[in-house]
Amino acid sequence: MKIQNTMTGKKEIFQPIHNNRINLFVCGPTVYDDSHIGHARTYIAFDVVARYLKHKGFSVFYLQNITDVDDKIIERAEKTHTSPRSLSKKFEQRYLEDMRALGVINVSYYARATEHLPQIIDQIGRLIQKGFAYETQTGVYFNESRFEGFGKLSHQSAEDLAKHRIEPDPTKINPGDFSLWKKRQDGEDVTWDSPWGKGRPGWHIEDTAITENYFGAQYDIHGGAMDLIFPHHEAEIAQMEATSGKEPLVRCWMHTGFLNVNGEKMSKSLGNFTTIRDMLQSYDADAFRFFVLLAHYRSPIDYSEEALEQARRSLERIRQAAKIIEEQLETAPVSSEPEDIDASATLARARFLESMDNDFNTPYALRAVFDLVREVNRRINEKTISRKGLQDVSEQLKEFGEILGMSFYAAGKKPADKADAVTDNLIELLKEIRQKLREKKEWQLADEIRSMLNELNVVIEDRKAGDRKDDLK
């Protein structure tokens, strides 16, 4: 199996550090608002990575952090007149609900930053002792000039790095030095005790303190969106390799491409985002997952409702074929002779796995699925497939779906489902109102409601025992 390593820019044969066990870390959300579908693209991609690694027989510990203390959280809490803690808890819960709705279920553990303050403080202390960090009036900073490898992941020279200005602060040695600990400012309530006074951790140190706690100084795969390469992932490398004296921090860096709208990256700062929740009001979660997997995880995706609708129709073609297979299984002839369809299913599986082994190339893997579906449809139309052949194809489609994290054998939740539920509730409410009007002998208005319900094919029979609603036709 080969994976594209952002560090080297090449596809490399992947070999875990600990034989059959893989430690995978992906940067999680900063929980100050609902996550958007750009985030979903990344988390779906790594859910499939985890699924496929497990399918190959690896034991995968997939760790994701939750940034529940951050400037954005504090600012949003002030604007909404709530506490940062309650705000972060609310959006963390909504994020987890979104992930379950999308079928992103392979994260082994979500680690909150605020539950790892001792590890964060300990790592900062060791960086100071080794001369890689220093304290000022405003906080503790990492001295990027002390770490010779700074910029190696983003492939930036010292001159390139000098152009960046991260967290401007006149107390820092270098303009690009990033904060490890932010000292309490006047009026701030979100603070913890530390050897450097009350304050809170910087963003970058959270991740390395968390991964060191669960994985040690080195691990197998680190993933995230490509906009995190600099400065976030560069900072992680500098922190952990400076602390441990070991390199590399990870064997393989994986980064997802952007989800774009009109050629621009979807982001909250640009205001061109669609939340996961809003998208799921109109589309089946599997349809969105299918849309994401039609592109390679490293490639940009152009999002539009038209593209999502096209993906939905493509998924439905596979599901329709699967439905026909299930129906044909009941009447198909029994045969013990080898069939060409068996060879087709075997070839489709080989091409699917070969594509996944080639840097998780889901577009080519899906091409193998479509080829198999076309072949089985042809065989069914020609009546040249037996029950065993249908069973073999059925099992193959189920295996493909399990790896990709979607079902080809169950129709997704229709967007109308929620609307139907609302309609039923409104009908019941109208019935209750009508019954109360009848009890008050307000017959005219009660009859008007009855006529309106009759137009909706809701039959009302006035009985002493109460009303009855027949099913909508």
Reply yes or no on domain 2-265 having CATH 3.40.50.620.
yes
The arithmetic mean of pLDDT across residues 138-165, rounded, is 87
Q: Sheet containing 199-201: give its strands across.
A: 133-135, 139-142, 178-183, 199-201
pLDDT band at 461 (very low <50, low <70, confident <90, very high): low
Question: In this prediction, what percent of the chain has a pLDDT beyond 90?
Answer: 71
Distance CA 274, CA 267 (A): 9
CA 81 to chain centre: 29
Q: Establish whether the linkage from the previous residue to 16 is cis, with ω within 30° of 0.
A: no
Distance CA 344, CA 350 (A): 10
Q: Is the pLDDT of residue 58 over 90?
A: yes
Provide the CATH topology of domain 312-404: Four Helix Bundle (Hemerythrin (Met), subunit A) (1.20.120)
Task: Name the pTM for this structure.
Answer: 0.84
Q: Is the pLDDT of residue 420 over 50?
A: no
Each domain of the chain, given as residue ranges in start order, spans: 2-265, 312-404, 415-473
The predicted-structure confidence for 436-460, as pLDDT tens digits, reads as follows 788 787 877 877 777 676 655 555 6
Q: Is the pLDDT of residue 88 over 60?
A: yes
Per-residue confidence (pLDDT) for residue 189, from 0 to 100: 86
Question: In this prediction, what percent of the chain has a pLDDT beyond 70?
Answer: 89
pLDDT band at 342 (very low <50, low <70, confident <90, very high): confident
Out of 51-65, 320-334, 454-468, which region has the weakest mean confidence (pLDDT)? 454-468
Per-residue confidence (pLDDT) for residue 21, from 0 to 100: 97
Question: How far is CA 398 from each of CA 57, 98, 393, rounded to the nearest angstrom?
Answer: 18, 24, 9
CATH topology identical between 2-265 and 312-404: no
Residue with tokens 């109102």: 433
Out of 62-66, 145-149, 216-220, which region has the weakest mean confidence (pLDDT)? 145-149
The arithmetic mean of pLDDT across residues 8-34, rounded, is 97
Q: Is the pLDDT of residue 323 over 90?
A: yes
Per-residue confidence (pLDDT) for residue 334, from 0 to 100: 77
